[in-house]
Structure 1
Amino acid sequence: MTTMTDARITFFASAIVLATGAFWGFYWLPVRALSDMGLPGAWGTAAITVAAVIVLLPLAVARRGALRRAGPVALASVALGGAAFALYSVAFVYGRVAIIILLYFLTPVWSTLIGRYVMGWHTPRMRIVAILVGLAGLTVMLSADGSAPIPRSIGEWMALLAGLLWSVATTGIRSKSDLAPGESAFVFAAGAMVCAFVLAPVLEPLPAAEGLSLAPLLGVAAASGAIWWALSVAALMWATVRLEPARVGILLMSEVLVGAVSAAALAGEHLAALELLGGGLVLVAGVLEVWPVRQRRASHFV
């Protein structure tokens, strides 16, 4: 009976991770919708994250004791993860969807380097290969038009930085945080909100209130904050502690496929052949990064 229960939990958690990745592949739609409604730059992300914080605030108040007991490094790490997602969110306003997602998914490269040179963790040979493959994919993808292999828009730079910050954050989360999914989602959204409000006036001037259609704008922001930032993040955090990191990393790659296909179908954004090749290498690097973990854990059952 226990085996069956464990198998069902694993299946359910895997389905949540897969669905979350696919769902975030559509996240660019509300971000750009808010920009079109009059909240350009980071203002749309600020509105979404405010809604998420409001939705999660009652839970945070109820669990304030757990938040007080959490260490400062744990809280800062989760908040930094939210800031990384805020950068990722804003990047969709300034760049092509598929490129933004792929640049963000270079996180295995940064995570391996941080683990090796900052945390002093052992680096399996396959992860060194993952770094080389990921950097090769980045080079091919960014030089597809014959230019130097560097990001060419503020959106691409933000996506690259978001992936780096997410790698730093997850290192701290894995080593220091024991927050439950609800509290983690609140701190995550709060960190994103602060980051968005810091960025917003730097990127674009504050939009005039009289030029905004408040009812539809608030509806999109509230729904996006509640569904993407509150519900899906809390569900993802519940699922990730019940699965191998390898499985989580691979299942979340559904975001790349859904994001690229949805952007091509709905926004007419298509990738050139070399961009597709570079993106493919980035995804291969992600698989290689988690492969040693999967192999090592599998060996315990032989």
Structure 2
Amino acid sequence: MKGSGWQTATAGAAAAERRTAVAALLCGALIWGLIWYPYRVLRDGGVDGIVATTASYALAFAIGWLCWRPRWQRAGASWTLLWLALAAATCNLGYVLATLDGEVMRVLLLFYLAPLWTVLFARLLLDERLDAGGALVIGLSLAGAAIMLWQPRLGLPLPRDLADWLGLLAGLAFALFNVLSRRARDLSSESKVLAAFAGVVATGLLLLLAGAGSWRLPREPALWALLALLGGVLLLANLIVQFGLARVAANRAIVIMLSELAVAAVAAWLLADEALAPREWLGGAIIVAASLFTARRAGTSPA
């Protein structure tokens, strides 16, 4: 009886941890689905998108450094960390700048072409063979993108503006970061997160020095408070998502994180009065289908 009770308690604790992990992923999806809005508030307050992104990630890095400095130091310098930093910088700066200038849902759906890029990068960097499932992911992703990006005047599927290009580039960089992260299994998740933050800060500063943005800082205390809050939220989002990913099967995690799209759609409609055209919804639905198929493949593949 005692053994049975102990097993029941252990199973209950494990179930509670899984529920907490799912809640963490949902919370992360909520944050990422809304993160664009504070940056728009800062932009409307006269703060350039590059400055806002650089400053918020600098604060997140500073807090993370205080918490994880020993692990970062043990990781040492490596080319992998450098490439992770560059991929993260392209992903995060591209995403923020795209959502500042473009339609949020359109940018996010183009960002979610990441499964397409993941299949290709996994083939190049992890030597994973392209099977029929991978080919289907590529086909679905390309079909969805072609529908979304189709320009009747040109008769071609092409990005219509800089926001589209940045959304595509951010998704590509996100896929590269994930594949590189899988390849660098010897590095702690904390080291990877710090490398990502450092990459955003360093790249943002280089862009500002090159004249790509304005150095103007916030003048109102409320905007400084918003920047500080953003830094804390970015660190929290990475922590809780890492917690969830470590405890939820990859196929289930992908499906849960897709709720970010629903959050962003409602937020863009309520906060920015944005809505997609029917053709964009159709293309987006096909792109989401590619992500869901990727999740199913992850669930059926051998460990």
Indicate whether the TM-score tops 0.5. yes
Task: Report the counterpart of residue 71 of structure 2 in structure 1.
Answer: 63
Mapped pair 1:142 → 2:168: no
Distance 1:258 1:157 in 2: 23
Provide the residue aligned with 2:227 in structure 1: 221
Alpha-carbon offset, residue 64 of structure 1: 4.1
192-201 or 236-245: which moved more?
Answer: 192-201
1:257-280 deviation per Cα after TM superposition (whole angstroms, max 9, x unaligned) = 111111011101110000010111
Instruction: For residue 175 of structure 1, report the CA deviation from its aligned partner.
Output: 1.5
Alignment correspondent of 2:279: 274
- Determine the C-alpha separation between the residues in 2 that align with 1:29 and 1:196: 19
Equivalent position SS for 1:39? coil
Counterpart in the other structure of 2:107:
100
How far apart are 1:98 and its partner, in Å?
Answer: 0.4
Superposed displacement of residue 286, structure 1: 0.5
Computed over aligned residues only, the root mean square deviation of the Cα atoms, in angstroms, reads: 2.1
- The runs of 5 or more residues in structure 2 that have no matched partner are 1-6
- The Cα of 1:107 is off from its aligned counterpart by 0.4
Larger Rg: 2
Correspondence 1:195 to 2:223? no
Identity of aligned residues (%): 26
Report the counterpart of residue 86 of structure 1 in structure 2.
93
Q: Quote how far apart the aligned CAs of 1:94 are.
A: 1.6
- 1:215 CA drift (Å): 1.2
**Shift in alpha-carbon separation, 1:177–1:78, aligned structure 2, 3 A:** farther
Q: Which amino acid aligns with 1:283?
A: V
The residue number in structure 2 matching 1:130 is 137
Counterpart for residue 4 of structure 2: none
One-letter code aligned to 2:127: G
Distance between the aligned counterparts of 1:6 and 1:180, measured in 2?
23
2:42 matched residue in structure 1:
34
Aligned residues: 292
Shift of 1:239: 2.1
With over 3 angstroms needed to count, the CA separation of the structure-2 counterparts of 1:198 and 1:94, relative to structure 1, is farther
Please give the residue correspondences for 1:276-291 in structure 2 after superposition, counting only pairs within 5 Å.
276-291=281-296
Matches of 2:160 and 2:86 in 1, distance apart?
25
Residues 284-299 of structure 1: matches in 2 within 5 Å?
284-297=289-302
Q: Give the equivalent residue in structure 2 for 1:12.
A: 20
TM-score between both structures, scaled by the size of structure 2: 0.88
Q: Aligned match of 1:75 in 78, 81, 87?
A: 81
8 Å CA contact retained: 1:138, 1:278: yes
**TM-score w.r.t. length of structure 1:** 0.88
